[in-house]
Amino acid sequence: MTRDIEQRKRDHLNLAQEKALNFSISAGFDRWRFIHNALPEINLHEIDTHTTFLGKELQFPLLISSMSGGVEESFNLNANLATAAESVGCALGLGSIRAALENEKVRNSFLVARKNAPTAIIMANLGIAQIMGSQSMDKVSSFCSDLEANALIIHLNPLQEAFQSGGDTHFKGALNAIKTWVHEFPLPIIIKEVGQGLSLDVVARLEGIGVEIIDIAGAGGSNWISIEGERLAADQRVLKQSAHEFANWGEPTAEILENLETDQFVIASGGLKQPLDLAKALALGANMGGIAGPLLRHAMTGDVSGTIDQLLVWKKTLEMAMFGVGACTINELIGNRLLLRKID
């Protein structure tokens, strides 16, 4: 079982770098452009990209979305991402901690994150299947303490599990399980998808049971149905072929934001490909953006300064966009759709 998880994690890290397994539809940010403001009435040096998340200050509202842990390759990945997050002042989501809960030997691939990022916001991650199944709250909480995690992210991934060989497809009762964890787990709980998106109805149901932070993780970037389809062996050809039919299944991230009305703290991830997409996501109403796939290449090759530079370009672009539209603070940007024009 443990060896299966390790092989899967390894495959994920390799396949997620293949462009062909990304969505061919976009997340929808290309349908929006900022209206240039030649009279911003602010000074560039006064632009303030700081934000507050989970009671801590971030240099800018970006989350390195959950990726990995549990295999040798992810030790370096998490070490690099944590060093980068600490250096630029953004938040870091770790990949699913399931492997560490089932095998003590791989715990270091997660613990290295806190070692390299002593002050950053770090979040642990688990699938809904583990929450509903074998993992006790005490055990998860104890590992979160070891990580000094600031929150626990729970991912909802029904179709990824359905196309994964041996995936766990028991989703009946998931909302109730989330409700229990939201009210009883000692850390804040964040609910996310993995790239198919949280629809408006799902967001409303989550809000109804008290979920205060969501990551909509919509379509447009990494596609976990396509990746699982690619991993399926030839003797599962019917399932494998069916996966192709879902190559563009999901709620594009910008489309969710356009129609979303909620009091929750909203993280927008999934298909933010260009740094300007972060500024657009904020203007469309997100409180923070998240990226996973775009960071993988630099971080996997051990290019820490390249990863830091990449993140700094996202921060600088946000700052320049704020100047270009005349928004001095992040709060002046968030949800300010008048700054955008839709291209039809």
Ligand X SMILES: Cc1cc2nc3c(=O)[nH]c(=O)nc-3n(C[C@H](O)[C@H](O)[C@H](O)COP(=O)(O)O)c2cc1C
User: Which spans of this chain sit near ligand X (rule: CB under 6 A)?
Assistant: 12-13, 16, 65-68, 95-96, 125, 155, 192, 194-195, 217, 221-222, 269-272, 291-294, 296
Give the residue with the Cβ less far from ligand X, 278 or 296. Answer: 296
CB of 78 to ligand X, least distance (A): 11
Q: Are 254 and 280 in contact (CB under 8 A)?
A: yes
Structure tokens of 128? Answer: 């809904």
| CA–CA dist 24, 27 (Å, integer) | 10
* Torsion of the alpha carbons at 226, 227, 228 and 234, rounded to the nearest 10: 80
Q: Report the residue closest to ligand X, judged by CB.
A: 221
| CA–CA dist 231, 296 (Å, integer) | 19
Structural element, H or E, at residue 92: strand 91-96
CB of 262 to ligand X, least distance (A): 19
Other CB atoms within a 10 A radius of the CB of residue 172 amount to 8
CB of 226 to ligand X, least distance (A): 12
Give the residue with the Cβ less far from ligand X, 16 or 340. Answer: 16
Structural element, H or E, at residue 151: strand 151-155
Give the residue with the Cβ less far from ligand X, 275 or 293. Answer: 293
Give the residue with the Cβ less far from ligand X, 170 or 237. Answer: 170
Give the residue with the Cβ less far from ligand X, 47 or 276. Answer: 276
Give the residue with the Cβ less far from ligand X, 65 or 87. Answer: 65
| CA–CA dist 213, 15 (Å, integer) | 29
CB of 214 to ligand X, least distance (A): 12
Residue 91 Rama label (left phi>0; alpha psi -120 to 50; beta): beta
CB of 283 to ligand X, least distance (A): 19
| CA–CA dist 172, 174 (Å, integer) | 6
CB of 118 to ligand X, least distance (A): 23
